[in-house]
Amino acid sequence: MLEKFVQISWANEEETMVQKASPKLTEMMNQAIAGELQAIVQYMWHHIMVKGLNSASLMDVFEDISVEEMKHAEKIAERLFYFDVAPTTKPNPIAKGGTPEQMLKADVQAEEEAITLYKDIIKQAIAEKDETTRLLFEQILSDEERHHDTFTTLLGQ
């Protein structure tokens, strides 16, 4: 009898150990994926389309940051999958073309939107006592702030 009680108690403990997320948090995370997908495509298009005196160096910057954004999307998707939520496959609207300055300005805007959203996600994760999601977005936020710095530096801001 005691053995059966211990098995049942242990099984119930396992169920409560799995982290759950609110619909609000998972929706915010899906918004983050949509932004990451936008950045992947937008920066890769900028990598292909950039022309002018500094285009060789800009091409590499756009490509490198696009690849980093792909890794962010993957990590966020894995976390959503853990919560048994399907990650979105639809990106936010993509800015393409224009002068290198226009491209960089569009990319600064995308990074600023991501930074604002990720700070909100971190606050929501803290409110839900979800340390893993908080840590994930703190790491990604650091990358996004570095991307923002790269783009604004290239713009001379």
At 25 the three-state DSSP class reads helix
> Within a domain: residue 28?
yes
Q: What is the CATH number for 37?
A: 1.20.1260.10
> Within a domain: residue 136?
yes
Rounded to whole angstroms, the Cα distance separating 76 from 27 reads 12
Type of residue found at 86: A
> Within a domain: residue 3?
no
> Within a domain: residue 13?
no
When pLDDT is cut at 50, 70 and 90, the band that residue 9 belongs to is very low
CA-closest candidate to residue 107, choices 136, 144, 137:
144
CA 70 to chain centre: 9
> Within a domain: residue 9?
no
Higher pLDDT, 123 or 12: 123
The two structure tokens encoding residue 29: 């995370």
For Cα atoms 139, 113, 28, give the angle at the middle one, nearest 5 degrees.
70
Q: Assess contact for 46 and 27: CB atoms under 8 A.
A: no
> Within a domain: residue 82?
yes
Type of residue found at 138: E
Rounded to whole angstroms, the Cα distance separating 61 from 68 reads 11
User: Which domain range does residue 72 map to?
Assistant: 19-154
Q: What is the pLDDT of residues 101-117, one digit of tens each?
A: 999 999 999 999 999 99
Cut 0.75: pTM above it: yes
Task: Output the pLDDT for position 18.
Answer: 65
> Within a domain: residue 80?
yes
Task: Output the pLDDT for position 3.
Answer: 53
The two structure tokens encoding residue 98: 């224009």
Type of residue found at 105: K
Count up the domains in the chain and report the number.
Answer: 1
